[in-house]
Structure 1
């Protein structure tokens, strides 16, 4: 039984072979990108998706649906993986996916969605404001926050029933979950959303409170210690692809989360002696092209990343960039805690003292900047690495300065990568 991460090219090759009667017997090709998902190929050339699992101690199979190449295909690779993931969650909950499917088939059709439900109004907000008022990178970022933090909580509620207390609870829950900066970002989106709704006479007033709590903004100066960085690095090894390499690249390059997560393969020049990552203007926060020199440690990491599709550096589908950061962050936190507890036991220490302070993925960017400064990198070079407008160059010199400090940035990032290599190899303390 073949095992590989399926992508469009592999599916096309399989379909071509199946059409040419290349399969003399029924075959099941496992998708390593989604455990339990199989592409079933018949000798006749027909293909279908299936999900294999165990329930009540017995192996079971759930037929997902037929697979054909083309834009009109009902069960594409992405859709099949989505169904398999949902079935896998049912198995984890102790339920038989086949029974769950039967239950859903017997459920009455949902009532028509009302135009004043939050989900509907969010759709209009994205269509008429977000996509018209922002550049592409900001659009994607805003939609991601809406889809992950706002829509799941309120999509089926009448927008007029959302109160100030609901907003405060949502923001507090996000901050309490270890993501205070996310709470600040969500508050800003909610403020724009409800003000837009007021202008359109959808609601009478915005329920978003003025300002933000100190708790939500508390981690803006958070810098991880070397010991915390060591645990993050080791936890990334445990978590593995794709989020292990993603988080390591955040540390190694000091770039923003979405700049790394949405990086395209064509942005990387890995040949010769001048390896670079060029972030195009449409993907950088300040709208300017940004060149990031790649350290030897970064190149080692990049060489080990599986190629899934031809577009994105980090992708599980081949068609879209990697996502699911909250789940990934939780997995890394869990591995960090496991490692810390094991090391405490090995040293004969009690587990009561083993605790992890909350941190966010954005804190890694600040940690890298602080680390380079500790290594003696001048502030204007650190700012150049971060793609910040330096405050050390002013006036006419600032306007005409086109020097990008490329070599200085390379030395800074190589020095920081060397420090990370030392940190990750240290004994625990």
Structure 2
């Protein structure tokens, strides 16, 4: 938490935009959005920082405007991390229950989960999250929460999410340079799912497709648990560049064409509708048909959707996706994209807005492009409201924390209704 126990701040560092957002937990447990500021991102490519100085400049601008707008000071933030460097591995751990009553305690679950942070990773990598899949108590499988159960042996199946250390350090450096500390690095698809998906969807099986500027994140949930996450190296910016090249227009004109007139299904557009690009800088005006524009967009979106389909099939869960696909992110609102996605995947499709019941949203941020930003704040809500005083070792150093694990335990043992 930041400032006070009720204030949470987050920064979403994307390919096309950087969002700084501030929320406050009210007495009834709801999250009120105090303010949000957005700046253009120029130092990030495909979700990864490529220019430190440009990224620092953009973060500083967004944070300064947010502090001025809300008249609030904060010192730590939740920050998203994404990119093709993210990978997921499966692991299994077990321990024998050694207490006198042979009941599984919270400490037992912590111990078996913490063991996963010792999982060997490649040089230059670090573990971001450990996500339990299921527990087994004395060979009784399919247990989600073994707390308090009688048993002599506890097994756990886990998904370990691993990322590149350099990417994490670059994020932390950029945030530190504007006078803030990173409270926790959160996998962006995990954050988006908190804001967009319902508990029922996660139980039934659902695919979250977050279409950003530089990448598309794919996350698969089943039986209430994150089963798979991957990154497709294409996003809305690639559609814009396709339009620029095919129509021989400037990049800003291509973006305007996509946003204002773009559609994802060419057969559903009118044959006689035309948009005229005005003459500028000595260049003649140009007519572009809606049909041609849609054909360009559809070609790229089919490539992205087919990649999503491949990722889902690779999990072996395609026949168990009972809740279908949820499209979110800035690219999720492309006209008729839901129809194209349904046609190519044979799954039900809906558009995902950040409408978690825990959040009181203002109209200007009730948009799929802010799903990750809202989700980062929701991740912060999972932290304990009162931080324990950190113990200091004899050498004066603070013990290292396994970020992400405390938040998981908070949600695992939370008995409150988290439906949207």
The structure that has the greater radius of gyration is: 1
Bigger relative CO (Cα 8 Å, ≥ 6 apart): 2
Instruction: State TM-score, norm by structure 2.
Output: 0.27
Richer in strand (by share): 2
Q: How does the TM-score come out when normalised to structure 1? A: 0.26
